[in-house]
């Protein structure tokens, strides 16, 4: 019977073990557990937070790695390819969850929920916070990255009356929810900024997108703009972001991802009234184990049958 090692911070190991009778599941609880068992594993389930390149030395040729996440910048894909290791992600599991999280952040900013939560904790009925609220309807949203998540955000944004534009590496082959003339190539990203009041990042982290949102972007945005990042921290030059918030070049940020995670205790972002910080939880939901198990079982059936794997990256 094949062996799986599952190293994750939600109870997916037990869910998978319960749902399979043709797989031996080891629930690893530490890096040491992984090192003890990985050599015997045919399947390794983990996520970018738990992965460390130390594991490479223990990884057998031909192992299949299933990530529970979407982003794969933390994984050494070339080393996987060299060892004939298959790598799949969980893209189709996350798009609606992350897009709901993106709107949670956008509305938390516009309805000033941070100051209101502070007031709630004090039992303070202060209606003046209402003077700082704004309406999103009618404003321009630019979605940077039109993969599954970007499309999911764009579709919802249109129903909210945003004027939605998108940025894509290859607009010529675009076929999504936006009118084609609202989708521009990455080189034209800056053209959209002077009218953009909500910039939503949903792009993978690559050499090309690293610090794609830098001082020049904050300079170009109007001071009524806000930034939502549910992609990857390093897409944003975080020091430039802090400066832009500090000087009022933009009016808020909703951030689920950061250049360093956990966000260091001394980061000025924690204390800002115009910034919502969430600890990289955009993909989380309480039925995650059930939904992941469904995705995994489908892929495991394919793997046993020698069929091609879904969401395969390498």
Interface residues with a copy of itself (CB under 8 A) are: 9-10, 96-97, 100-101, 103-104, 107-108, 110-111, 113-114, 116-121, 123, 125-137, 155-156, 158-161, 261-263, 265, 267, 270-271, 276-281, 284-287
Residue pointed to by tokens 């009234």: 273
Q: Among the options 197, 232, 249, 251, which is catalytic? A: 232
CB of 181 to a copy of itself, least distance (A): 21
Determine contact, residues 230/101, Cβ cutoff 8 Å. yes
CB of 227 to a copy of itself, least distance (A): 16
Nearest to a copy of itself of 135, 305 (CB atom): 135
Nearest to a copy of itself of 10, 216 (CB atom): 10
Across the chain, how many H-helices and E-strands are there? 10, 12
Kindly tell me the sign of the dihedral angle through the C-alpha atoms of 251, 139, 281, 148. Answer: negative
Nearest to a copy of itself of 131, 181 (CB atom): 131
Two tokens at 196? 């953009």
DSSP 54: G
E strand or H helix at 113: helix 113-122
Active site residue 261: yes
Cα(164)–Cα(166) distance, integer angstroms: 7
DSSP 65-106: EEESSS--TTS-HHHHHHTT-EEE--HHHHHHHHHHHHHHHH
Active site residue 265: no
Two tokens at 263? 């966000």
Two tokens at 297? 């079982």
Nearest to a copy of itself of 30, 120 (CB atom): 120
Nearest to a copy of itself of 120, 206 (CB atom): 120
Q: Among the options 111, 259, 261, 312, which is catalytic? A: 261
E strand or H helix at 107: helix 91-110
CB of 253 to a copy of itself, least distance (A): 12
CB of 232 to a copy of itself, least distance (A): 16
CB of 191 to a copy of itself, least distance (A): 26
CB of 114 to a copy of itself, least distance (A): 6
Active site residue 8: no
* Residue among 92, 105, 183 at smallest CA distance from 145: 183
Angle at 198 between CA 196 and CA 202, to 5 degrees: 110
Nearest to a copy of itself of 183, 263 (CB atom): 263
Give the residue numbers marked as catalytic.
Answer: 232, 261, 280
């Amino acid at each position: 019977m094949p062996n799986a090692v599952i190293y994750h911070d939600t109870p997916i190991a037990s869910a998978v073990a319960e749902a399979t009778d043709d797989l031996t599941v080891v629930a690893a609880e530490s890096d040491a557990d992984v090192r003890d068992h990985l050599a015997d594993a045919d399947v390794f389930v983990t996520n970018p937070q738990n992965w460390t390149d130390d594991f490479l030395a223990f990884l057998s040729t031909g192992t299949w790695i299933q990530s529970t996440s979407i982003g794969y910048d933390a994984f050494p894909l070339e080393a996987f390819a060299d060892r004939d290791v298959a790598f799949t992600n969980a893209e189709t599991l996350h798009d609606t969850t992350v897009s709901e999280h993106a709107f949670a952040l956008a509305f938390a900013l516009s309805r000033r929920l941070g100051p209101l939560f502070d007031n709630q904790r004090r039992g303070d009925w202060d209606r003046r916070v209402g003077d700082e609220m704004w309406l999103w309807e009618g404003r321009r949203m630019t979605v940077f990255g039109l993969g599954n998540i970007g499309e999911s955000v764009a579709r919802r944004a249109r129903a909210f009356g945003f004027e939605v534009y998108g940025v894509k590496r290859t607009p010529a082959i675009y076929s999504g929810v936006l009118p084609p003339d609202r989708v521009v190539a990455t080189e034209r990203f800056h053209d959209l900024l002077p009218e953009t009041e909500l910039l939503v990042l949903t792009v993978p982290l690559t050499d090309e997108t690293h610090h794609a949102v830098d001082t020049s972007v904050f300079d170009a945005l109007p001071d009524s703009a806000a930034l939502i990042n549910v992609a990857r921290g390093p897409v944003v030059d975080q020091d430039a972001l802090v400066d832009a918030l500090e000087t009022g070049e933009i009016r808020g940020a909703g951030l689920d991802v950061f250049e360093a995670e956990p966000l260091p205790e001394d980061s000025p972002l924690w204390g800002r009234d115009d910034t919502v910080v969430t600890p990289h939880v955009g993909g989380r939901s309480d039925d995650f184990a059930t939904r992941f198990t469904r995705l995994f079982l489908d892929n495991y059936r394919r793997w046993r049958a020698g069929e091609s794997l879904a969401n395969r990256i390498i």
